[in-house]
Every structure is written in structure tokens, then in C-alpha cells.
Amino acid sequence: MKLDDRVAVVTGAGRGIGRAISLAFAKEGADIAVASIDPEENEAVAGEVRAFGRRALPYQVDVSDSGQVQAMAAATLEEFGRVDILVSNAGIQRRALLAFSDEEEWKRVIEVNVYGAYHCCKAFLGGMVERNHGRVIITSSISGKMVNPANSSYAVSKHGLIGLARSLASEVAMLGAKGVTVNAICPGLTDTDIMTGPDGNIAKLSEMLGKTREEIWDEIYRPLILQERMLKPEEIAAMALYLASDDARGITGQSINVCGGTIMH
């Protein structure tokens, strides 16, 4: 198996892309700390991980809180002894035109998306560098490379995460830990709550623009995507699995698009 007896921490693992990554990793032999802000979702995904015969640690954490992330790291190390793979994937989006945005909401996006990744990387990188072995995978977005209106906090956070992945890749190399890789994945439109849920992008834009959800898809989103379809979370998980595997040992400091051809840079 590709991840035989590896230990992975996946944040935002309770549903969507994080759940798909947790299950893809467990299927390939990894034990998983299933970490998200929602304890019920964590328990459910932990059950699915165990169904593959792997160990799971469901852990409720708000990644924007450094104390909670440190406690999660301690609990994970106590349970599994080490962490080989960190998938920093938890993220939120709050759409608003900047001129009318709420400062607290704007900050919250940066706190969860950017500081969340900062706290997690800080908590887990040290052990990887010491063992000269590890994988850090950060979920950015095509919004890390392109923009659209009423999305500034998210775009800033996702651009920042690409900078974080590049910076950390250079730092671990400088520390001599050439066996540790750090990369970002940039998903395109993927069928999860953040896109298609009751408070998701399509619903929010439909409300803001006074159009039906079908019109939002047909007029705004579909024309952006060469393949004219939304991706499945499992397609993002396949890239995460590759980056976590030994096959990807030569890939570091990259931001890899999985987006049906929406962007090409």
C-alpha cells in the first residue's frame, strides 16, 4: 500500500475534501487524526477510517486557536507516537464586497485559513524535520492564483497559503531536511458544502445577484471551467495521496491545480 503504517493529521476532515483525503489515506494504510471543529462529523469520519482497519483519532479543534492546535498535536503524538503527514485543509469562505464587508468576518477568514495553517505547520513540522521525513500538504485554491469579486478575504488567504507552502519548503531544505516536502493543492470548483451547501458559494451568489442557482452555475461558473463540471472531492484526494506517497518525494514548494482546466498557471 502507498501509505503503509504512516500517521496523518487531516484538518477540516469532517466532510468534503478533508473527509475524502482521510478515507483515501486510510485505504492506503494510514492511521488518521480526524480533526475539525465539528465533533459529530469527526466521529462519523473516524468510523469510516476504522472500517478500513486503520486507527482513527477524532479530535475537535478550532485551527485558528494556537492553544487548541497544540493540544491536538500533543493528543495525536500520545496516540500515534509520531506524525508523518500533515494535511492542513480546514477552511472557510465569507463572500462580501470589500467596501461593505464586516471586519470581524474578514478577519475570521484569515484567522482560520492562514493562521490555522500556520499553527498546524508550527506544531507538526519540527518532528518531521528531526526525522528528515514528512509531508505537508496545504489546501489552497484556484483563488490562490485568480480572483473574482466579493471574495477578497478568501483570495488573500489562499494566495497567502501558496506563499506559506513555498516558504516552508525552502526552510525545511535550509534546515537540511531534504526528506520533508511541503506543497499546496489548488482545487477548482468542487462539490462540497463550501460550493453547493445551503450557505455555499452558489447559494450566496444567487442571493447577492438575484439569480437562480442554475443561472449562477450556467452563467458564472460553468464558462470558467474547460471541463464544464464540478470536481468530486475524491479527485482532490487523489492528488493529496500522490503528494503524500514516496512517488512524490521530488516534488516540493509547488502549488498544483486540480481544477478541470479552469486555470493554467
Ligand X SMILES: NC(=O)c1ccc[n+]([C@@H]2O[C@H](COP(=O)([O-])OP(=O)(O)OC[C@H]3O[C@@H](n4cnc5c(N)ncnc54)[C@H](O)[C@@H]3O)[C@@H](O)[C@H]2O)c1
Residue 68's closest CA among 18, 13, 115? 115
Q: Which of 59, 154, 221, 242 is labelled catalytic? A: 154
Does 48 bind ligand X (CB under 6 A)? Our answer is: no
Interface with ligand X (CB under 6 A), residue from 8, 9, 14, 235: 14
Closer residue to ligand X (CB): 71 or 175: 71
Closer residue to ligand X (CB): 91 or 134: 91
Cβ atoms < 10 Å from Cβ of 161: 27
Closer residue to ligand X (CB): 23 or 61: 61
Interface with ligand X (CB under 6 A), residue from 3, 9, 17, 162: 17
Nearest approach in angstroms of CB 121 to ligand X is: 14
Residue 38's closest CA among 22, 18, 59, 68? 59
How many whole angstroms separate alpha carbon 188 and alpha carbon 167? 23
Considering only residues 65 to 104 of the shown chain, the ones binding ligand X according to CB under 6 A are: 89-92
Q: Helix, strand, or coil here: 184?
A: strand
The tally of CA atoms less than 13 A away on the side-chain side of residue 104 is 0
Does 192 bind ligand X (CB under 6 A)? Our answer is: yes
Considering only residues 128 to 167 of the shown chain, the ones binding ligand X according to CB under 6 A are: 139, 141
Cβ atoms 230, 191 nearer than 8 A: yes
Decide if 59 is catalytic. no
Residue 48's closest CA among 73, 21, 71, 81? 21
Cβ atoms 24, 1 nearer than 8 A: no
Nearest approach in angstroms of CB 212 to ligand X is: 20
Does 189 bind ligand X (CB under 6 A)? Our answer is: yes
For ligand X, the binding residues (CB under 6 A) are 11-12, 14-18, 36-38, 41, 61-64, 89-92, 112, 139, 141, 187, 189-190, 192-195
